[in-house]
């Protein structure tokens, strides 16, 4: 069984959704037969790191959302994360453009380190307050998952893998993705959003049954 | 498990559509009914419960 996930490092419900999916996989009898493939998506392609500005303020300015509404949304997200055992610290998190990090993710993916890099980037952004648009930061995170820092730096500077990121985003549009995270199972069924663990369990079991038991 | 067709078969495919993209057409979205799923909207950037988002759009 293959699960394809469109996600962005700065998407809180992608971070939470991954935790829920992992929770479902813990009790899924055939978890060892599940392959997970991440695909790039940019939730905030116009996102830009503004030093000294609070996350909510940057988000409010970027989206034209009243500051109070942005603060309430982030508070609700943080509470949802906490209930799922996911640590989100918007008091230190830095809103930033993720395109360079996605280009490095594509490089990581080609070397079998894509999922590891994705998970490392989630934690770096939401828990540790790292700036994901900063080249030195991306290189360091890549090295932490076992990638060649010099190659990663060169890739960023030469703006390589741009087309691969854009291809993933185009595929998302072709599928009709309107929100992330977005999960596609075996190119047949889609799950939109961070659904509860039980919902993921239900889908995993049902798809497995359809594909194996009923044949 | 109720499902609905996610893709509009009459919708125009992007010019750069290839075999990989075509193989993704016809994917069925799983409908969890009263689910409290959480999603970040691509257009607005709003992140919240799916049901709440739909209410806000009304």
Give this complex's ipTM. 0.86
Of residues A91 and B45, which shows the higher confidence score?
A91
Distance, CA of A34 to CA of A25 (rounded, Å): 9
Helical (H) or strand (E) element with B49 = strand B47-49
Distance, CA of A99 to CA of A105 (rounded, Å): 10
Q: How much is the pLDDT for B2? A: 41
| Interface contact flag, B1 A206, Cβ < 8 Å | yes
The tens-digit pLDDT sequence of chain B (58 residues) is 444 333 333 233 333 333 333 345 688 888 887 666 899 998 888 898 876 545 454 4
Q: Give the best residue of B39, B48, B54 to mutate against chain A (max A CB count within 10 A).
A: B39
Res. A215: pLDDT tops 60: no
Nearest to A179 among B7, B23, B39 (CB): B39
Q: Residue range A38-54: average pLDDT?
A: 94
Residue A64, token pair as written in the block: 């034209």
- Quote the DSSP letter at residue A32: G
Q: Which of A185, A210, A209 is nearest to A195 (CA)?
A: A185
B51 touches chain A (CB under 8 A): no
Q: Residue range A53-64: average pLDDT?
A: 93
Contact A179, A173 (CB under 8 A): no
Nearest to B42 among A179, A196, A199 (CB): A179
| Crossing angle (nearest 10°) for helices A99-110 and A162-175 | 100
Chain B residues in contact with A14 (beta carbon < 8 A): 40
Q: Which of A39, A84, A77, A87 is nearest to A198 (CA)?
A: A84
């Amino acid at each position: 069984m293959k699960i394809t996930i469109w996600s962005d490092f700065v998407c809180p419900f992608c971070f939470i959704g991954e935790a829920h999916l992992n929770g479902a996989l813990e009790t899924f009898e055939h978890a060892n037969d599940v392959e997970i493939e991440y695909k790039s998506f940019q939730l905030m392609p116009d996102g830009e790191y503004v030093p000294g500005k609070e996350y909510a303020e940057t988000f409010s300015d970027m989206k034209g959302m009243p500051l109070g509404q942005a603060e309430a949304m982030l508070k609700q997200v943080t509470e949802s994360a906490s209930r799922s055992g996911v640590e989100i610290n918007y008091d230190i998190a830095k809103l930033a453009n993720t395109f360079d990090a996605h280009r490095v993710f594509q490089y990581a993916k080609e070397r079998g380190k894509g999922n590891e890099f994705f998970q490392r980037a989630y934690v770096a952004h939401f828990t540790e307050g790292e700036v994901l648009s900063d080249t030195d930061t991306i290189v360091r995170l890549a090295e932490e998952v076992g990638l060649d820092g010099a190659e990663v730096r060169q890739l960023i500077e030469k703006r390589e893998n741009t087309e691969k990121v854009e291809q993933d985003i185009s595929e998302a549009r072709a599928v009709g993705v309107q929100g992330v995270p977005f999960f596609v199972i075996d190119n047949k069924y889609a799950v939109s959003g961070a659904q509860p663990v039980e919902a993921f369990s239900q889908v995993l079991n049902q798809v497995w049954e359809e594909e194996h038991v009923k044949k | 498990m109720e499902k609905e067709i996610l893709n509009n078969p009459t919708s125009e495919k992007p010019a750069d559509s290839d075999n990989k993209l075509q193989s993704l057409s016809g994917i069925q979205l799983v409908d969890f009914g009263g689910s409290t799923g959480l999603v970040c909207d691509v257009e607005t950037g709003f992140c919240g419960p799916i049901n709440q988002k739909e209410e806000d759009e009304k």
